[in-house]
Amino acid sequence: MALITGASRGIGAATARQLAAQGYQLLLLARSAPELEQLAAELRADGRRVETQVLDLADPSAIAAGLAALLGRGLAPSLVVNNAGAAYTGPLAEMPVDQWQWLLQLNLTSVFQVCQAVLPTLRRQGGGHIINVSSHAARNAFPEWGAYCASKAALASFSRCLAEEERCHGIRVSTLTLGAVNTPLWDSATVHSTFDRRAMLSPERAAEALVSLALQPASQIVEDLTLMPAGGAF
């Protein structure tokens, strides 16, 4: 059983399809009800059990209740994919604090909240695997991407610390570090970019890398997997 955040489109939807093909039942979480239900219907038609929960991870007060509702349906995930996230472009000196807090909530704090919600279940089961989707921006500095870089750097550090704390419970934590991926993120009102999206990774290739992490045997762990477009960083 796999739980995926940001599952309605992009990398999340591609990962859901590929995990379903590997035999996983799915717990899918996203803020867009129509897209989420369309994907769920597609996967159910192939014989998979799929449970969904509409939840906006930008609202910290809604996360605990939303996850409790999803996990309360008698399905316990062994794999948790924290894929949901957002981006913001603009100079740090001019960034409104509410936009900073919104971005940190989505890219970092919501991951912390999801992990807190699922850890008791994973511990009871004797282990599990958490995969956090990060970016090469965690390791690099890009002008006007400072808030995004900071959020992803913090996510990478959080993932390493969580791995150390939960190893004794049999819980593994991996990070998938991605270069630019051609997803709806680039169409967001908070992102302004002239990058050539044709040169980016596809969501399907990113999902393949994520699934390869998920399929590692419990006796080993790939702590971080980095996948970049052949053209390098944009």
Q: Is 133 exposed, middle or buried (CB count within 10 Å of its CB: 0-12, 13-18, 19+)?
A: buried
- 103: part of which helix (H) or strand (E)? helix 97-104
- The β-bridge partners of 5 are 29
19, two tokens: 């995990």
Rounded Cα distance between 4 and 17, Å, is 11
Q: Are strands 2-5 and 26-30 parallel, antiparallel or unpaired?
A: parallel
Residue 24 a catalytic site member: no
CA dihedral 86→158→153→191, nearest 10 degrees, is 0
Return the ∠ at Cα 176 (arms to 199 and 200), rounded to 5°. 5
Rounded Cα distance between 129 and 18, Å, is 17
| Active-site entry in 87, 148, 173, 207 | 148
Q: Is 147 exposed, middle or buried (CB count within 10 Å of its CB: 0-12, 13-18, 19+)?
A: buried
Q: Which residues contact 18 (CB under 8 A, 6 or more apart)?
A: 204, 207, 208, 210, 211
Q: Catalytic amino acids?
A: 148
